[in-house]
Amino acid sequence: MLCCLGDVVEDVVVWLSGDIATGTDTAVQIHRRRGGSAANVAVAAANTGTGVRFIGRVGTDAIGRSLIGDLAIAGVDARVQQQGRTGTIVVLVHPGGERSMLPDRAAAVELDSIDDADLAGITWLHVPSYSLVVEPLGTTSRAAIRTVQRAGGKVSIDASSVAIIEEFGIERFSAMVDALKPDVLFSNADEGQVLAMTDTRGAEGVDLTIIKDGGHPAVAYSGGRLIATVPAFTVQDVRDTTGAGDAFAAGFIVARMAGIDIEDAITAGHRLAAEVLTRYSP
């Protein structure tokens, strides 16, 4: 079974029509939906019919209860603690689909323990870096990774965000990933550049590095060499890229869990990402 560990929050997605006018009104479209990188991966994977568990924390409020219900409706085995205040991320989506995110993860980062039963039977654990660079969630997540690895399961980490890598410390982040030794590291092109991944190698201490680059081909590195280059699907007039990277990770992981080779697994990732982009196109 796949398990995703980390954040489930309310996304308040603001579609901007142009620059924000300071001191007065700016016309926008606002969409509220379930968010959080780990939750997004869990739901995208569940939509393929794969058995998925999600572990995280929300607040003791109506939004938190709604998010738990949303995960259950999507077919996710939600092991969600309730304490404190549910997190919210305001996502400003600029024309053309690029995003700026204003996160307040609140209870999501306060997960300080996981029941042993919640990790039983997990054969693949996916952890966004959002779950690794804050406390107490970071300590909890690293312990979960070691537990799954000792049981013979695989682990994937998503680099997640240039900002959080730089805030945590680039060398410190790289050293942490090297120590955790995940089977797969997902990154986009900007994150790969910050982590000093070159055209000839991926991340140190990682069996397989997948670098996405929007509508350009994704590449895979293993053993210090390029092993795959796979074109992305073409999607016209993208309005909102929110969740596309998470869908890519879900598609890739589900395919690899089914024994599909790396190139075809990347194609599966592109396919799920394209579905998200198409959903949010005008």
Residue 190 lies in a domain: yes
pLDDT tens readout for residues 27-78:
899 999 999 999 999 999 999 999 999 999 999 999 999 999 999 999 999 9
Residue 148 lies in a domain: yes
CA-based radius of gyration for the chain: 18
Selection from 5, 7, 3, 80 nearest residue 45 by Cα: 3
Residue 14 lies in a domain: no
What is the Cα–Cα distance from 39 to 17, expressed in whole angstroms? 28
Instruction: Give the C-alpha distances (Å, rounded to integers) separating 76 from 4, 19, 67.
Output: 10, 38, 11
For residues 128, 134, 139, 144, the Cα torsion angle rounded to the nearest 10 degrees is -20
pLDDT tens readout for residues 205-215:
788 999 999 88
- Give the residues across from 78 on adjacent strands: 54
* pLDDT per residue of the chain (282 residues) written in tens, 0 to 9: 999 999 999 999 999 988 888 999 988 999 999 999 999 999 999 999 999 999 999 999 999 999 999 999 999 999 999 999 999 999 998 887 778 899 999 999 999 999 999 999 999 999 999 999 999 999 999 999 999 999 999 999 999 999 999 999 999 999 999 999 999 999 999 998 888 765 445 566 788 999 999 889 999 999 888 999 999 998 887 778 888 999 999 999 999 999 999 999 999 999 999 998 887 655
Residue 216 lies in a domain: yes
Exposure string of 239-252, with b = 16+ CB inside 10 Å and e = fewer, is: bbbbbbbbbbbbbb
Task: Give residues with Cβ within 8 angstroms of 2, minimum separation 6.
Answer: 42, 45, 50, 51, 52, 53, 122, 123, 124, 125, 126, 253, 254, 257
CATH code of residue 138: 3.40.1190.20
Residue 99 lies in a domain: no
Are the C-beta atoms of residues 10 and 63 closer than 8 Å to each other? yes
Strands 225-230 and 216-222: antiparallel
**What pLDDT does residue 281 have?**
54
Number of separate domains in the chain: 1
Strands 216-222 and 77-82: unpaired
Are the C-beta atoms of residues 237 and 200 closer than 8 Å to each other? no
Residue 149 lies in a domain: yes
What is the Cα–Cα distance from 240 to 236, expressed in whole angstroms? 12
Instruction: Find the domain containing 194 and state its range.
Output: 2-7+34-87+105-279
Residue 22 lies in a domain: no
**What pLDDT does residue 203 have?**
63
Largest CA distance in the chain: 57
**What pLDDT does residue 280 have?**
65
**What pLDDT does residue 191 have?**
92
Residue 112 lies in a domain: yes
pLDDT tens readout for residues 175-194:
999 999 999 999 999 998 88
Selection from 41, 25, 31 nearest residue 124 by Cα: 41
